[in-house]
Each structure stands twice: as C-alpha cells, then as structure tokens.
C-alpha cells in the first residue's frame, strides 16, 4: 500500500506543475508543523482518488520527489517507519531518526509500540494544555473535564499523555495563546518529561502554532484539538465518502495556516531569494484551493449517488429513524442490539464515521429503518460539521431523531447541550425527537434516574448493552411516529388495494370496515400519504 502511494504520487507530479524547491521544504515543514494531519502538497492534476491516497498514506510519498533546492542545504531524506498492518497509523520520519539515535536505549523505545485494535501504534509522548476563559458559562465543560476529554482523544489517536496543565485567562494571548510564564513552565516540562507533542485544547492560529514551536524548540510538535480530531477521523475513515470528507476538512484547516510559513526561506538563503516565500505562499494556496475544488466536486457526485439511493429508499414505505448523540453514548451498540448488525462499537471516541442503516422489525410486525451516525463532541470544529454535511443529510431526512445519551456520564448535561448545539446548526428543529437515557446499568442510582425519566415526556431509559428497556424503546418510537402523522378517515375504492396495504405498513390503522363502495379506514398516516388520500377523504366526508 505504501509503495502504491509513492508511485501514484510520483506519476501525478510528472503531469503537473514542477515542484518548486521551496515546496520540498514546505513538505518537510508540514510534517513537523502538522504531524497529525499527514498532509503534503498535492499536484494540481491529481484525481480525487489520488488526493485521497496522498492524504491518507504515510509520509513516504514525500520522499519520491527529492528535489534539490538551490542556496539551501538539502535536508537528509528521512526513512519512513513502516508499521505493520495499517498505512494510516500515525507514522513519522522523525520517529525513525529518534529510533536510530536511541538505538542504545531501544528496549525503552520499543516499549512504546502498542497494539491497539489489532494495529501497531507508536505512542508518542504528549503534553496537554488548556485555557479556562474567565466568564465562561457554567453549563459548558469545565477546563478539567475538557482536558480529560482531550486526553481520551489523544489516547484514541494513539498518543501517550504524560501530563497536562491549564491557565485561567481573560482572553488568549494573540502570539502564544497562553501567557509567557506558562510557556516557560511547559518548556521545562517538555525537557523533564521528554515530551514530543504539545496539544492545545482550543484551535490555534497559524502564528500561534509557529511561535510556540519556536519557543519549545525544533523537535517538539505543537497541534490543537481540531488537528487531533482530524487525525482520528483520518485514521478511522473507512469509506470513500468519509475519506473525501476528512481530506476536505484537513485542507480547509490547512489553508489559512499556510500564511508566512515561508519566511524561513528568505532567512536561510541570506535574503538572496527575497520575496520568494511570499510568492510561494500564493502558489501553494492556489494549489490547495484547486485541490479543495476537486474534492468538493467529487463529494458532490458521491452526494448525488447517496441522494438517489435515499430517493429509492423513500419509495420503500418505511419510516427512517436516525440515532444521534455525543460520541461514545452507545448509538452503535443500540443499532447492533436491535438489528443484529455488526457495527464497530467500542470504548473509544469517534468509533463511527459512516452512517449505517438497518431494518428493525417490531413485535407488532411494523418496521422502521434505523441509521447510526457520526458522534458529536464539544468544540466540534465548524469545518468538520460542514464537511460531514453530506453524511449528516441522513439526519435531516429522517422521520424521527433518537438522541442517545450516556446517562451514567458525569457530564451528561453538558453533553446534551453540545449535541443540541450541533443539531441546531444542522437545521433539523422540525423533526420530532425522542431522548434515550442509555447505560442505565452503569448509573450509580438507576432507580432515581428511572423516576426522573417517568416525570418527563419523550424520555426512555435503556441499556443498549444488556437489552434492558428495548421493548419500551420500540413502543415509544411507535408513539412518536404516530405523533408525527396525520389522522385520516377515508374510503378507499377496492382498486386501491396497493395503497391500502402500504397504509397498513407505514401508518397506524385503528379501524377497517368493508363497505359496498370500498374500504373505510380510520388511521394515522404520514403526511405524504395523507396527501395521497385527500380525494378519498372527501369521499369519506360525503359518505352517509
Ligand atoms: N455499561 C454499558 N455500556 C454501554 C452501553 N451501551 C454502550 N456501551 C459501551 O459504550 C462504549 C461506546 O459504545 P458505542 O456504541 O461505540 O458508542 P457510539 O455512540 O456509537 O460512539 P461513536 O461511534 O464514537 O459516536 C462501548 O464500549 C459500549 O460497549 C450500555 O447500555 N451500558
Ligand atoms: Mg458508533
């Protein structure tokens, strides 16, 4: 796979703009600055598939060009570190170099290769940094909770978190995000703990990233929560559509961060190529914008296919219900439990990226389609919400949204608010909702929670893991679907037998009476069918 990517990359460059010398350096810079993004400059003529491969493959592709920049000392080509099994695993040239350096101490180093989900992952030492904004509203995540979530994210990405710190600030420092005292404190921690990566809990600007890396020293990488989430998504994207969406989000994240990364060229060449950096930023921005355009087109075509598929599904008269909720709430476990599907469900953030739809048959013979979707998280980057819009369209075309909540989680209220916030961005307020309090088996006082749920409308307690409460869940779905339907009394002529059986399938028929003129029904039916029945409803009104 890695070899394939390298070949692809070389051939795509042969038919594209020549790489400017500085682009090579830029690639090296990117590997340092944005280790998590597996990002590199791309050829203008690359196909979306190539772009995707280039983005998702490890850093070996960069080496295939190997141009020699004038006036600038060429950096030694790093040897990629091949980890078994997975070309998307976080790999890094620097690691190989470090491994060589550390050969004497290699047993210590090798201890940090861990097997996760069947993949070998190198655990880089990471240090977390957060900022508590004075005056933050109390219903949002506290700084310690937010940092502990960041630790979970880092863990999911395969990093080894060695320590963390935070600072209370009225407003972030525009140059370094945190104050200078805190910067020095972190620098000491980096030296003492041999930290390789510093991760900030909030999105940093290009300038802040650059300044912090400068202060921390050449070998230390700095990244932010968004880059970390993007990296997890990149590692986990399993389908063509998900890969395209992640690639697009990565590029959009990257675009504003190209600014001024080139000034080092002018410094290194002693001013001989003055202005070169500035020009190169423009060239690379243009290349990146072109790639974004190519990806958007490709996504649009994938989106059209999905739409056609959805349209076909609409013609199958079964309501579609989407599971939404905070990451790790138990959505996939619920889908698996109800449908016998085999969707990956695990105690990691963002286990699911692609929607999976399965048919559920209830005891009364009624059916619905259940869709599992990508989980949400607080501080979800807007670029990601936008990039996943195509996938999230599944949600907007549902008859009902089931909000799955991990009721055993200490920050359950904050998680509910974060999900509501994302849903409000998706413009789905008109779709009826049902809330499910999951993991009731794990709650410290399940009885108290059940009593609380009884007091509320639209809440059902379940354990997706044990299957407890699933019958109540299906009953609640029936009731909710009924609420979203229209009450009709109609007389269907006998030649409309097909429509009658569809109504039995999608609606809730309360009375059927056979008369000489046709079948008289009283039922709740979806709006679409109420419209189809309009002429027959008039007939019914005129019935003696
Ligand atoms: N104790 C208990 N654990 C549960 C329950 N439901 C899910 N889990 C566990 O919670 C973890 C996350 O479950 P998933 O089904 O992967 O959660 P998800 O909402 O699909 O997560 P994302 O795909 O990341 O958004 C897994 O380890 C499940 O075994 C439950 O009812 N009780
Ligand atoms: Mg899931």
Tokens of 296: 């958007």
276 versus 132: the higher-pLDDT residue is: 132
Asked if 31 and 83 touch (Cβ cutoff 8 Å), the reply is no
Asked if residue 497 and residue 470 are part of one domain, the reply reads: no
Give the three-state DSSP class for 489: strand
Please give the average per-residue pLDDT across 497-503, as a whole number. Answer: 86
Among residues 199, 107, 93, the alpha carbon closest in space to that of 146 is found at 199
Residue 148: pLDDT above 70?
Answer: yes
User: Distance between CA atoms of 79 and 63, rounded to whole angstroms?
Assistant: 8
Side-by-side strand order, sheet with 508-514 = 486-492, 519-525, 508-514
Among residues 475, 435, 430, 428, the alpha carbon closest in space to that of 452 is found at 435
Residue 211: pLDDT above 70?
Answer: yes
Residue 105: pLDDT above 60?
Answer: no
Residue 213: pLDDT above 80?
Answer: yes
Residue 93: pLDDT above 50?
Answer: no
Residue 91: pLDDT above 60?
Answer: no
Residue 309 lies in a domain: no
Å from CA of 358 to ligand 2 middle: 14
Q: How many CB atoms lie within 10 A of CB 119?
A: 15
Tokens of 358: 């399965």
Asked if residue 499 and residue 471 are part of one domain, the reply reads: no
Residue 63: pLDDT above 80?
Answer: no
Asked if residue 364 and residue 283 are part of one domain, the reply reads: no
Phi and psi at residue 524, to the nearest 5°: -90, 130
Asked if residue 329 and residue 213 are part of one domain, the reply reads: no
Residue 307 lies in a domain: no
Residue 301 lies in a domain: no
Residue 38: pLDDT above 60?
Answer: no
Å from CA of 356 to ligand 2 middle: 10
Residue 242 lies in a domain: yes
Q: Which contiguous run of DSSP H or E holds residue 346?
A: none
Phi and psi at residue 88, to the nearest 5°: -95, -5
Residue 466: pLDDT above 80?
Answer: yes
pLDDT in the model for residue 103:
46
pLDDT in the model for residue 222:
93
β-strand pairing of 221-224 with 197-200: parallel
Provide the domain limits for residue 363: 316-482
Ligand 1 atom closest to 463 (CA): 31
User: Distance between CA atoms of 525 and 351, rounded to whole angstroms?
Assistant: 36
Complex ipTM: 0.99
Which of 457, 482, 507 delimits the end of a domain?
482
Mutate to test the pocket of ligand 1, among 156, 238, 326, 333 (most ligand atoms within 8 A of CB): 333
User: Distance between CA atoms of 266 and 70, rounded to whole angstroms?
Assistant: 12
Asked if residue 255 and residue 144 are part of one domain, the reply reads: yes
- Closest ligand by atom to 374 CA: 1
Tokens of 72: 């600038």
Ligand 1 atom closest to 376 (CA): 25
Residue 56: pLDDT above 70?
Answer: no
Residue 231: pLDDT above 80?
Answer: yes
Instruction: Please give the mean pLDDT across all residues of the chain.
Output: 74
CATH code of the domain covering residue 19? 3.40.50.11060
CATH code of the domain covering residue 381? 3.40.50.300
- Closest ligand by atom to 153 CA: 1
Å from CA of 140 to ligand 1 middle: 23
Residue 240 lies in a domain: yes
Ligand 1 atom closest to 442 (CA): 1
Residue 493: pLDDT above 80?
Answer: yes
484 versus 443: the higher-pLDDT residue is: 443
Please give the average per-residue pLDDT across 285-296, as a whole number. Answer: 90
The DSSP string of 311-325 is: HHHHHS---EEEEEE
Helices (H) and strands (E) in the chain, counts: 22, 15
Residue 147: pLDDT above 90?
Answer: yes
Query: Looking at 110-203, which runs of residues are DSSP E strands?
Result: 113-116, 119-122, 124-133, 159-169, 197-200
Question: Which has the minimum average pLDDT: 25-39, 367-381, 458-472?
Answer: 25-39
Burial category of 205 from C-beta neighbours within 10 Å (exposed 0-12, middle 13-18, buried 19 and up):
middle
Please name the residue whose Cα sits nearest to atom 27 of ligand 1.
Answer: 347
Asked if 320 and 345 touch (Cβ cutoff 8 Å), the reply is no
Asked if residue 502 and residue 516 are part of one domain, the reply reads: yes
Asked if 540 and 520 touch (Cβ cutoff 8 Å), the reply is yes
* Ligand 1 residue neighbourhood (C-beta within 6 Å): 325, 327-333, 345-347, 349-352, 375, 438-439, 441-442, 463-465
pLDDT in the model for residue 350:
77
Question: Which has the minimum average pLDDT: 83-92, 98-107, 206-215?
Answer: 83-92
Residue 313: pLDDT above 50?
Answer: yes
Residue 32: pLDDT above 60?
Answer: no
Tokens of 175: 């140059």
Cα of first residue to Cα of last residue in the chain, in angstroms, is 75
Residue 37 lies in a domain: yes
237 versus 322: the higher-pLDDT residue is: 322
Which of 296, 331, 362 delimits the end of a domain?
296
Question: Which has the minimum average pLDDT: 1-5, 122-126, 281-285, 364-368?
Answer: 1-5
Å from CA of 166 to ligand 2 middle: 30
Asked if residue 322 and residue 187 are part of one domain, the reply reads: no
- Closest ligand by atom to 377 CA: 1
Question: Which has the minimum average pLDDT: 59-68, 161-170, 509-518?
Answer: 59-68
The residues, any chain, with a CB within 8 Å of residue 279's CB and separated by 6 or more, are: none
87 versus 245: the higher-pLDDT residue is: 245
Q: How confident is the model at residue 328 (pLDDT cuts 50, 70, 90)?
A: very high
Asked if residue 370 and residue 509 are part of one domain, the reply reads: no
Q: How confident is the model at residue 458 (pLDDT cuts 50, 70, 90)?
A: confident
pLDDT in the model for residue 166:
95
Å from CA of 130 to ligand 1 middle: 27
529 versus 263: the higher-pLDDT residue is: 529
| CA trace torsion 211, 215, 220, 222 (10° rounding) | -30
Domain count, the chain: 3
pLDDT in the model for residue 269:
53
Ligand 1 atom closest to 329 (CA): 19
Instruction: Calculate the CA 412 to chain-centre distance.
Output: 20
Residue 134: pLDDT above 70?
Answer: yes
Residue 151: pLDDT above 50?
Answer: yes
Q: How confident is the model at residue 108 (pLDDT cuts 50, 70, 90)?
A: low
User: Distance between CA atoms of 272 and 476, rounded to whole angstroms?
Assistant: 73
Which of 436, 454, 482 delimits the end of a domain?
482
Asked if residue 246 and residue 146 are part of one domain, the reply reads: yes
Tokens of 432: 């009826």
Asked if residue 241 and residue 356 are part of one domain, the reply reads: no
Q: Note the pTM of the prediction, 2 decimals.
A: 0.73
Q: How confident is the model at residue 133 (pLDDT cuts 50, 70, 90)?
A: confident
Give the three-state DSSP class for 270: coil
Please name the residue whose Cα sits nearest to atom 13 of ligand 1.
Answer: 330
CATH code of the domain covering residue 504? 3.30.70
Asked if 81 and 91 touch (Cβ cutoff 8 Å), the reply is yes
Residue 403: pLDDT above 90?
Answer: yes
- Closest ligand by atom to 351 CA: 1
User: Distance between CA atoms of 28 and 21, rounded to whole angstroms?
Assistant: 11
Asked if residue 332 and residue 241 are part of one domain, the reply reads: no
Residue 308 lies in a domain: no
Burial category of 541 from C-beta neighbours within 10 Å (exposed 0-12, middle 13-18, buried 19 and up):
exposed
Residue 502: pLDDT above 50?
Answer: yes
Please name the residue whose Cα sits nearest to atom 32 of ligand 1.
Answer: 439
What is the total residue count of the chain?
Answer: 544
Please name the residue whose Cα sits nearest to atom 6 of ligand 1.
Answer: 330
Residue 458 lies in a domain: yes
Asked if residue 332 and residue 274 are part of one domain, the reply reads: no
- Closest ligand by atom to 331 CA: 1
């Amino acid at each position: 796979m890695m070899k394939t990517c390298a070949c692809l990359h070389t051939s795509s460059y042969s038919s594209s703009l020549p790489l400017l010398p500085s682009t090579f350096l830029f690639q090296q810079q990117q590997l340092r600055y944005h280790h998590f993004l597996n990002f590199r400059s791309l050829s203008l003529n690359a196909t979306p598939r190539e772009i995707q491969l280039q983005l998702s493959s490890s850093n070996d592709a960069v080496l295939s060009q190997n141009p020699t920049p004038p006036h600038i000392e060429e950096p030694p080509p790093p040897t990629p570190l091949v980890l078994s099994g997975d070309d998307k695993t976080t790999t890094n040239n620097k690691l190989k170099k470090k491994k060589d350096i550390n050969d004497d101490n290699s047993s210590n180093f090798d201890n940090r290769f861990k097997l996760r989900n069947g993949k070998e992952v190198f655990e880089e030492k990471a240090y977390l940094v957060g900022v508590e904004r004075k005056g933050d509203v109390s219903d949002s995540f506290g700084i310690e909770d937010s940092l502990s979530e960041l630790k979970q994210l880092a863990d999911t990405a395969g990093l080894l978190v060695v320590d963390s710190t935070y600072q209370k600030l009225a407003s972030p420092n525009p140059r370094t995000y945190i104050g200078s005292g805190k910067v020095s404190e972190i620098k000491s921690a980096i030296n003492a703990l041999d930290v390789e990566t510093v991760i900030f809990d909030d999105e940093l600007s290009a300038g802040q990233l650059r300044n912090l890396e400068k202060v921390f020293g050449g070998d230390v990488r700095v990244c932010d929560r968004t880059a970390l989430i993007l990296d997890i998504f990149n590692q986990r994207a399993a389908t063509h559509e998900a890969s395209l969406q992640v690639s697009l989000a990565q590029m959009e994240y990257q675009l504003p961060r190209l600014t001024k990364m080139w000034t080092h060229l002018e410094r290194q060449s002693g001013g001989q190529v003055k202005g070169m950096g500035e020009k190169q930023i423009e060239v690379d921005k243009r290349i990146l914008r072109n790639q974004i355009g190519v990806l958007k087109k490709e996504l649009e075509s994938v989106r059209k296919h999905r739409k056609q598929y959805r349209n076909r599904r609409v013609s199958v008269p079964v309501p579609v219900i989407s599971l939404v909720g905070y990451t790790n709430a138990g959505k996939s476990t619920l889908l698996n439990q109800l449908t016998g599907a085999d969707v990956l469900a695990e105690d990691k953030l963002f286990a699911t990226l692609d929607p999976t739809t399965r048919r559920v048959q209830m005891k009364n013979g009624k059916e619905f389609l259940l869709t599992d979707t990508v989980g949400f998280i607080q501080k979800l980057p807007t670029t990601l919400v936008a990039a996943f819009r195509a996938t999230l369209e599944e949600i907007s075309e549902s008859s009902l949204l089931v909000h799955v909540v991990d009721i055993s989680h200490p920050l359950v209220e904050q998680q509910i608010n974060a999900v509501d916030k994302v849903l409000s961005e998706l413009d789905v307020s008109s779709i009826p909702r049902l809330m499910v309090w999951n993991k009731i088996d794990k709650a410290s006082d399940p009885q108290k929670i059940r009593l609380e749920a009884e007091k509320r409308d639209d809440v059902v307690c379940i354990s997706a893991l044990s299957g407890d409460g699933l019958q109540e869940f299906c009953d609640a779905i029936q009731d909710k679907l009924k609420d979203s339907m229209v009450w009709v009394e109609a007389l269907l002529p006998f030649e409309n037998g097909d429509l009658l059986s569809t109504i039995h399938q999608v609606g809730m028929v309360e009375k059927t009476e056979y008369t000489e003129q046709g079948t008289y029904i009283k039922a709740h039916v979806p709006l679409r069918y109420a419209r189809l029945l309009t002429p027959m409803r008039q007939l019914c009104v005129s019935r003696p």
